[in-house]
Structure 1
């Protein structure tokens, strides 16, 4: 072995993993020199822990990537490396997005819990948390927005990491619970939660405003959502879970998908009366549709509302909230005969379908009692409403009638603006 050239030794070492490399470093001085190459250990750090800088799990700088690997290995060697890597990448995605787009929420993310804290929670609960949940909480111990289970003011209430929606007077905004509140809500639940006696359910996320709870069944790792355990629960559609029941990683899959949707621009931060929050109304195709008529652009998308009260009383009623965004584009960007500097909405016409069957045909004045005036290149007008369906999928489409100029001073004949079909369906992942 000593007679092998250093280049051959490097080829051999590069084809191994971190554990074998550490062992090979005990063969001789030459092998130790090759096995200590920091570029090699930087690859192992990235490969096993998704770590790209020489820092330990607490963010402290390390002298080398070899030392970095040793620190990460010591901190997480009790867990499968694949789960650790996925959890780290998941939180990196979410934290990077919030730090750029919504730093107020990024500031609410608590430092990770240590093994002693998690063990103490399990001891008090009387059962074990799924491994993927433990690893997730090692990286982030929920949000520090909550006091007595719910935010105490409007600003904090809007800072739910998992976003929300609003229509009419209805609001929901979901916060990720820290371990201390998971324990409190599980051991001393509010009356309408009514966790089954002897069950291994824990509440991992709650909404400010209206009751909306996400439950994790620690016995099988599956997630549920609803506004109380007495009411019908909806299993979160988590692809691949049935093929990986042993991993119990529904919560991890759920947060991974949420991070991907944030990163892809499907969800964004909205501002209403100077209150910012993450909106769960999708903003990209195919969940968001767009149509342009005579320079008026209308975008629409919908979100399923699983916690709505009537869902308990009538299993054949599904509540969807939809968001419509309209604006008058800059005219030089539009190829058209009609040139508009402004236009005002006068009427609406909606066709609602359930499983391709028309169940409602609605026409009326304005939208939610308003007659928005659109200015060329001006602000977008946004409104939200809701609709029941007797089925779990359907659509809503139609058109708006506008007049050029203003209703009080028309500048030409009225015209119709198309609203492309907005899909109403229960998604695979519910947030």
Structure 2
């Protein structure tokens, strides 16, 4: 009995092996890990174990191994630095950052100039100034999105865009001219006996021009000519 009491008295937190303690700490949230730093010297050392903070960096900030290598910092330092910058948005940051990353991944092979035109994130001071100007508070998830990317730079359209615009205008003019001729032909076939003259000029072609303009302004549901002439 005395031996059992002696063994129980010797079993303390300091005497526990390192691996079981690290396993227990791996289930804790970042807040609990920080609190463990103030419990004892040993727990402070164990809670600073870098692989423990790797999980939190990936979960809350989506920091990749490449980013860690570029910044040349340990996982705990990365977590603390990011938290000091955007810790206010820790509940929204991962979801919004993933949405931005997915958008850039989609646009990169299709429109790389649009990805390059994205601005850097806004500062907290800028967002506070906007709130003061409009007189109301912005939602945290809305602010978080602007902290990641502050909109897009104005980009001058490239040669390819201008060429497409010219082609579109040319096709539109051609289609309008073709429709005008079609309406004129229908008008001539249907209204041969209803020509009116005002000063020696026929009113048929101005009417066809007006109908063609209406056709392009408000196209009919099924695109039929009968509905156009019936308007």
Length-normalised TM-score, structure 1: 0.33
1:16 corresponds, among 10, 23, 28, to 28
Does residue 108 (structure 1) correspond to residue 111 (structure 2)? The answer is no
1:50 corresponds, among 38, 56, 62, to 62
Residue 67 of structure 1: aligned partner: 77
Kindly state the Cα deviation for residue 155 of structure 1 after the two structures are TM-superposed.
2.5
Does residue 134 (structure 1) correspond to residue 143 (structure 2)? The answer is yes
1:6–1:30 CA contact under 8 A, matched in 2: no
3-state SS of the aligned residue for 1:124? Answer: helix
Residue 154 of structure 2: aligned partner: 145
Residue 10 of structure 2: aligned partner: none
Residue 154 of structure 1: aligned partner: 157
Q: CA RMSD in A?
A: 3.3
Residue 134 of structure 2: aligned partner: 125
State the alpha-carbon separation in 2 of the partners of residues 156 and 39 from structure 1: 50
3-state SS of the aligned residue for 1:97? Answer: helix
Q: Deviations over 1:332-372 (max 9, x none)?
A: xxxxxxxxxxxxxxxxxxxxxxxxxxx84979xxxxxxxxx
3-state SS of the aligned residue for 1:86? Answer: helix
Kindly state the Cα deviation for residue 99 of structure 1 after the two structures are TM-superposed.
3.2
Residue 4 of structure 1: aligned partner: 16
Higher helix share: 2
Does residue 99 (structure 1) correspond to residue 108 (structure 2)? The answer is yes
1:109–1:144 CA contact under 8 A, matched in 2: yes
Residue 83 of structure 1: aligned partner: 92
For the structure 1 residues 32 and 120, does the alpha-carbon distance in structure 2 shift closer, same or farther, using more than 3 Å as the test?
Answer: same
Residue 35 of structure 1: aligned partner: 47
Kindly state the Cα deviation for residue 64 of structure 1 after the two structures are TM-superposed.
0.6
3-state SS of the aligned residue for 1:41? Answer: helix
State the alpha-carbon separation in 1 of the partners of residues 84 and 158 from structure 2: 40
Q: Deviations over 1:26-47 (max 9, x none)?
A: 3333323321221111100111
For the structure 1 residues 156 and 130, does the alpha-carbon distance in structure 2 shift closer, same or farther, using more than 3 Å as the test?
Answer: farther
**Unaligned stretches of 5+ residues in structure 1:** 147-152, 159-165, 170-308, 311-316, 320-358, 364-431
Length-normalised TM-score, structure 2: 0.59
State the alpha-carbon separation in 2 of the partners of residues 141 and 157 from structure 1: 27
| Rg comparison, structure with higher value | 2
3-state SS of the aligned residue for 1:142? Answer: coil
3-state SS of the aligned residue for 2:136? Answer: coil
For the structure 1 residues 157 and 85, does the alpha-carbon distance in structure 2 shift closer, same or farther, using more than 3 Å as the test?
Answer: farther
Kindly state the Cα deviation for residue 156 of structure 1 after the two structures are TM-superposed.
9.2
**Unaligned stretches of 5+ residues in structure 2:** 1-12, 162-167, 173-216, 226-231
Residue 179 of structure 1: aligned partner: none
Q: Deviations over 1:241-282 (max 9, x none)?
A: xxxxxxxxxxxxxxxxxxxxxxxxxxxxxxxxxxxxxxxxxx
Higher strand share: 1
For the structure 1 residues 16 and 54, does the alpha-carbon distance in structure 2 shift closer, same or farther, using more than 3 Å as the test?
Answer: farther
State the alpha-carbon separation in 2 of the partners of residues 96 and 53 from structure 1: 18
